[in-house]
Amino acid sequence: MSSKDINIRIGELETGIGHIRDLQVRIGRVLDEKWAEPAGPTPFPSLTALRNWDRTLLNRYRPFYLPFCDLCCLCTYGKCDLTGSKRGACGISMAAQQSRIVLLAACIGAATHISHARELVAHLIQEFGRERKLDAGSSVEVEAPVIRLVCGIRPRTLADLEPVLDYAEQQVTALLSATHTGQEGDPIDLESKVLHAGMVDQVGMEVADIAQISAYNFPKAEPATALVDLGMAAVDTAKPVILVIGHNVPPAAGILDYLQDRGLAGGVEVTGICCSAIDASRYSPEAKIVGPISWQMRYVRSGIPDVVVVDEQCIRTDILEAAKAHGMPLIATSEKVCLGLPDRTADAADAIVADLTGGRSPGAFILDPEKVGEVAVKTALAVAPARRAARNAPYRVDPREEAGRCGGCGFCQRACPNDLNVPKAMQACAAGDTGMLAALYDACLGCTRCEHACPQGIPVHSCILAAAGESIRNERFSMRTGRGAIGDIEIRQVGGPIVLGEIPGVVAFVGCANYPDGGRELAEMAGEFATRKYIVCTSGCAAMTIGMYRNEEGKTLYETYPGDFQAGGIVNVGSCVSNAHIAGAAIKIASIFARRNLRANYEEIADYVHNRVGAVGIAWGAMSQKAASIAAGFWRLGIPVIVGPHGTKYRRMLLGRADREEDWYVLDARSGEEVYTGPVPEHLFIAAETPEEAMILAAKLCMRPNDTARGRALKLTHYIDLHRRHRGGIPDDLPLFVRTASDIPITMKEELLQVLREKDWKEIRIPDPTLLRRPARGRQD
Amino acid sequence: MTDTDSWQTAEVGGPRRAAVIRKAVAAAAVIRRAERPILILGHRAGERECNGGRMIDCLIGLARASGCTVVASGNASSALRERGYPPHAAMPAVELGSRLTDPAWTGIDGKGAYDLAILAGLPYPMAWTLLSALKHFSPVKTLCLDPGYQPQATWSLPNISLADWAAFMHALNASLASTEGGG
Ligand code: SF4
Ligand code: SF4
Ligand code: SF4
């Protein structure tokens, strides 16, 4: 694309139509001429520019399809039965159909972040001007690693982000069109497009986060950001309370600004759910975080919020009904989520407030974040006194009375994603014991499917909440707020130990709250890896969840571990869009530590990251399409992702085959020879059944062909230890990961050598690994 | 809802649904007919109580009686080891599933492809997606021995109580043991 980009500047020209002065014509995009770094081969890559790299990965990590059902229902030819080798009326196979759905999910996810970024950049330009400088932090020289890598440009101002978004939008449109009936039909080409969607999604996320960090002055690559309050009990219910839900922070910022400007700060509680909460806390330490996405019903039904403000993404689509039922006026603030409400953007704030407080309207749709601030605060102040009573009667149910109506039909359990045994708990509750019902609280996702299934109309979720009142009243935790990027100095310090394998790995806990058995599992996993001196990164709902548990000393993980990007740190980068900084850290290791050129040099950098940076993502509660596209962005960089058991519903895994030796050869960049390395990393996308299995997998998936012997020994120590503890015994596949006797952890040397001898193990050599046929550097042909 | 509606309400597979097995002798016949059966045991088997023990105790009985290869997923391996019955292999369920869809795979022991996969103890949605993968992409027949109906299997039990399930397993194991013993 870039080769066709033209920039023409004409000082003076006489033409048939007249005299032209200072005409500048820009066609396409122009690369930064002041940037000394040479441009790589793929600036603004098209749909197929990185197809060879994708095929290299997909040849090793083949799709394993797990169809959701037998049918395709996409067009009016259908429904088509695609069972086994049957084809749809359009000719599509079951395999391609699964990839197509994954691509659709990835496009939805990428479109969501990119559209969010567009809305944010447009707003910030309006508020702060086009020339507002981007600033990811004084310790951050490489301010936009993903954009540099993918687009080949260095954005300097908010305005520079616009052509980046133009590119991302074009790509998503083209990708989406490929899912139309009668377009792409090859599963592997569809998968390549999934990876493209993931990469473009990372670009969109990076745009959004560096824009808001710069303009709103969020923490800038600071390891020790403030600890903010987390949990329902952190809310001071004596004050009027505003709840913000979603991902786009300007309305929340509007509320906080209004409070500040009117001297009302501290007089009104600004609380949030999901990423708007995280970003509000990055904007002001006054903001409080209630919890992840699954806390929406819990919190609204608690009666605590006086006003609900929704922006975009991850909002329950029945939130207006829920808010209405609890007498909370609702303000919708995004064109993407209007909820049927009247557009009041042009109306005077006081008129809107009068309608909301007078009960004439359950809500308003307001597109101006400043006006949202004024209306939300005034409404909260006005309705709060009358709503005090509602707060004193949370959930409005008597579980014992409700349980008395339960017929034990079991429909609630069968509707429950986590198969929670509600009927048994109801039986016990009817007999006077609410303990079992309360015990369901932690694993309950707050989805309310049980309520819709119950033929008796029992408000099951509310019964669980009422029974668990005590735990909810104690829900007060802490979270270190999002720090943004990883500083260049931090990268310099840990780059070597990571690449050489002496820090056993970087484990990133990301994604939503669709946990199979509650959030405690996630917190335990994060604590385990931090104790083992991995670098633990986190973002979004996962970042909140890991702050919601206390150890024996009564401390949360954030109070126990530092926020530095170093061994044993727990690094909260921020909201969902801050995920780009985790990818960015891996990319920066290649550029800052290894001095590889970043600029438009995707293949080489991804090859570097894949072969040398022992990083793995764990999206234990991944649920949304955004989680699908975020994962896809990591896959294209060759970084493996583990999901929880619900993750098989993403319809396909990308699995390596450790037993196929031919799959695990790399080129030795020094000699050009093909060298067997063992299956590292073994998978690119895999669902684990239990947290124990996820931990064993994560330790294994941090191994890389480039590990030094010392590094590999350390990684093996953790792998073997976790395996012994949770599966029992030494792993069967141990011989595949020991390259030379020096890889064997010293404390287990004799025992392991014995095992290896029995399995006919042979030493292999450690190469300078690359998957690129075109040598990255140094190879003599 | 009947006992052959999927256990989880919305899991409606498609036109081809699992044949329901209500009698232990029928399940025994399916297992006996198989030349190379493999049992995939998920972690829930070690957690769910039944008949004063855990589901896994009945399933170990099945493994002993049928002599089939046992692969433990999740952390079922620990529960098996604690009972003195280590699995033939321990690996994530999807990893095993992907191998089962490869016609060239010669099995855990290298002695050839499996023709029957018996599933038990996986979380319901994981079992359903895995069964679907095997239904669409492999010739392997599947038998789901969980107490909830799984439409994506070749054969599945209906929705039954854990007490009925324990009785079923007892009868199944007895039936298989008598066949094995009687040659
Ligand atoms: S898109 Fe193809 S498979 Fe799907 S319903 Fe239409 S014709 Fe059938
Ligand atoms: S609200 Fe909780 S109990 Fe009800 S179906 Fe959802 S997860 Fe299950
Ligand atoms: S669906 Fe309703 S009536 Fe049936 S068991 Fe559940 S709570 Fe009881």
What confidence category does residue A61 fall into, taking pLDDT thresholds of 50, 70 and 90?
very high
Phi, psi of B49 (to 5 degrees): -85, 140
Residues lining ligand 3, judged by CB closer than 6 Å? A 406-412, 422-423, 426, 453-454, 456, 458, 460
> Among all ligands shown, which has an atom nearest to the Cα of A516?
2
What's residue A781's pLDDT? 34
Least confident range from A659-668, B4-13, B60-69: namely B4-13
pLDDT digits (tens, 9 = 90+) for A182-223: 999 999 999 999 999 999 999 999 999 999 999 999 999 999
Q: What is the pLDDT of residues A234-254, one digit of tens each?
A: 999 999 999 999 999 999 999
Report d(CA A638, CA A683) in Å as an integer: 10
HEC profile for A587-652? Answer: HHHHHHHCCCCCCCCHHHHHHHHHHHCCEEEEECECCCHHHHHHHHHHHHCCCCEEECHHHHHHCE
CA distances (Å), origin B21, targets A350, A610, B2, B4, B155: 68, 47, 14, 10, 6
Distance (angstroms) between ligand 2 centre and the Cα of B162 equals 22
pLDDT > 50? residue B181 = no
Determine the Cα–Cα distance for residues A252 and A42; give it in Å rounded to an integer. 38
What pLDDT is stored for residue A6 in this prediction?
A: 46
Is the Cβ of A398 closer than 8 Å to some Cβ of chain B?
Answer: no
Ligand 1 atom closest to residue A72's alpha carbon, by position in its atom list: 4
How far is residue B108 from each of residues B88, B105, B111, B126, measured CA to CA in Å? 8, 9, 8, 22
A396 pLDDT above the threshold of 50: yes
Tokens of A145: 């690693």
* Residue among A694, A672, A640, A704 at smallest CA distance from A774: A672
Three-class SS state of A324: helix
Nearest to B133 among A64, A415, A732 (CB): A64
Q: Which of A8-17, A29-38, A137-146, A191-200 has the lowest mean pLDDT?
A: A8-17
Which atom from ligand 3 is nearest to the alpha carbon of A409? 4
Partner B contacted by A489 (CB < 8 A): no
Cα(A508) to ligand 2 centroid in Å equals 27
- pLDDT computed for residue A355 by the predictor: 98
- What is d(CA A682, CA A775) in angstroms, rounded to the nearest whole number? 23
**Residue of B92, B99, B130 lying closest to A66 (CB–CB):** B130
B114: closest CA of chain A, how far (Å): 17
Q: Which ligand is nearest to the CA of A185?
A: 1
pLDDT reading at B180 higher than 90:
no
Write phi, then psi, for A689 (nearest 5 degrees).
-85, -35
Distinct helix (H) and strand (E) counts, chain B: 7, 9
Angle (deg, nearest 10), helices A602-612 and A579-588: 90
Over residues A573-592, the mean pLDDT reads 96
How does the average pLDDT of chain A come out, rounded?
Answer: 93
A645 C-alpha to ligand 1 centroid (Å):
29
Distance from CA of A3 to the nearest CA of B (A): 42
Two tokens, residue A371? 């006006």
Structure token digits, residue A747: 């404390």
Higher per-residue pLDDT: A141 or A724? A724
Give A697's contacts in chain B (Cβ within 8 Å). Answer: 92
pLDDT given for residue A394 in this prediction: 78
Share of chain B above pLDDT 90, in %: 88
**In chain B, what percentage of residues exceed pLDDT 70?**
97
Tell which residue, A397, A628, A637, has the closest CA to residue A506: A637
Identify the band that residue A677 occupies on the pLDDT scale cut at 50, 70 and 90: very high
Per-residue H/E/C for A23-59: EEEEECCCCCCCCCCCCCCCCCCCCCCCHHHHHHHHH
What pLDDT score was predicted for residue A13?
57
Cα–Cα distance measured from residue B154 to residue B31, given in angstroms and rounded to the nearest whole number: 12
In chain B, what is the greatest distance between 2 CA atoms, to the nearest angstrom?
A: 44
Residues of B in contact with A692 (CB under 8 A): 74-75
HSE-CB of B173 using CA atoms within 13 angstroms: 17
Please state, in angstroms and rounded to a whole number, the distance separating the CA atoms of residues A522 and A545: 7
Q: Cα distance from A617 to chain B (closest Cα, Å)? A: 17
User: Is A726 touching B (CB cutoff 8 A)?
Assistant: yes
Which residue out of B94, B142, B152 would a mutagenesis test of the A interface target, given it has the greatest number of A Cβ atoms within 10 Å? Answer: B94
CA of A579 to the centre of ligand 2 (A): 29
| Nearest-by-Cβ selection for B94 from A414, A648, A732 | A648
Q: How confident is the model at residue A375 (pLDDT cuts 50, 70, 90)?
A: very high
Please state whether the peptide bond connecting residue A79 to the residue before it is cis, i.e. omega within 30 degrees of 0: yes
b/e code A257-269 from CB counts within 10 Å (16+ = b): bbbeeeeeeeebb
Contact yes or no for A482/A578 (Cβ under 8 A): yes
Provide, rounded to the nearest whole percent, the portion of chain A with pLDDT above 90.
90
The pLDDT score that the predictor gives to residue A22 is: 53
Looking at the predicted structure, is the pLDDT value of residue A296 above 50? yes
Say if A86 is an interface residue toward chain B (CB within 8 Å). Answer: no
Who among A651, A657, A697 is closest to B92 (CB)? A697
Cβ contacts (< 8 Å) between A729 and chain B: which residues?
A: 77, 81, 86
Asked whether the beta carbons of residue B15 and residue A94 sit closer than 8 angstroms, the reply is no
> For residue A10, is pLDDT > 60?
no
> What is the average pLDDT across B37-52?
94
List C-alpha distances in Å: B157 to A728, A736, B2, B166.
31, 39, 13, 12
Contact, A191 vs A65, CB < 8 A? Answer: no
List alpha helices for A80-160, DSSP H. 94-128, 145-151
- Asked if the bond preceding A45 is cis, omega within 30° of 0, the reply is no
**Would you say residue A17 has pLDDT above 80?**
no
Reported as a single tens digit per residue, the pLDDT across B83-92 is 999 999 999 9
Rounded to a whole number of angstroms, the distance from the CA of B124 to the nearest CA of chain A is: 8
Q: Quick check: A778 pLDDT over 60?
A: no
DSSP-derived pairing of the beta strands A674-676 and A288-291:
unpaired
Chain A residue with minimum CA distance to B139: A84
Among A648, A690, A697, beta carbon nearest to B129: A648
Contact B94 A687 (CB under 8 A): yes
Token duo for residue A482: 């999002």
The answer to whether residues A82 and A88 touch, using CB atoms and an 8 Å cutoff, is yes
A413: phi then psi, degrees, rounded to nearest 5: -65, -40
**Tokens 């450790």 map to which residue?**
A658
User: Is the CB of A449 within 6 Å of ligand 2?
Assistant: yes
Q: In this complex, is the C-beta atom of A689 within 8 Å of any C-beta atom belonging to chain B? A: yes
For chains A and B, CB pairs below 8 A equal: 130
Q: How far apart are CA B28 and CA A69, in angstroms?
A: 28
Q: What is the pLDDT of residues B104-125, one digit of tens each?
A: 999 999 999 999 999 999 999 9
The atom of ligand 2 lying closest to the CA of A448 is 1
Query: For residue B75, which residues of chain A lie inside 8 Å, CB to CB?
Result: 690, 692-693, 726-727
Contact B125 A692 (CB under 8 A): no
B107 bridge partner residues:
none
**To the nearest 10°, the Cα dihedral for B164, B170, B176, B180?**
180
For residue A80, give the DSSP letter.
Answer: E
pLDDT at residue number A288 = 95
Q: Which atom of ligand 2 is nearest to the CA of A464?
A: 3
* Contact assignment for B98 to A655 by CB distance below 8 Å: yes
CA of A410 from ligand 3 middle (Å) equals 5
Ligand approaching nearest to the C-alpha of A403: 3
Which residues in chain A have Cβ-Cβ distances shorter than 8 Å to B77?
727-729
In 3-state terms, what secondary structure has residue A2? helix
Q: What is the pLDDT of residue A128?
A: 97
Residues A437-484 have pLDDT tens digits of 999 999 999 999 999 999 999 999 999 999 998 888 889 999 999 999
Indicate the pTM of the whole model.
Answer: 0.95
Q: List all residues 6 or more positions away from A431 whose beta carbon is below 8 Å from its beta carbon.
A: none
Asked if A68 and B129 come within 8 Å (Cβ–Cβ), the reply is: yes
Which residues does B contribute to its contact with A (CB < 8 Å)?
Answer: 1, 7-10, 12-16, 42-43, 72-75, 77-78, 81, 86, 89-90, 92-95, 97-99, 101-102, 105, 122-126, 129-130, 132-133, 135-137
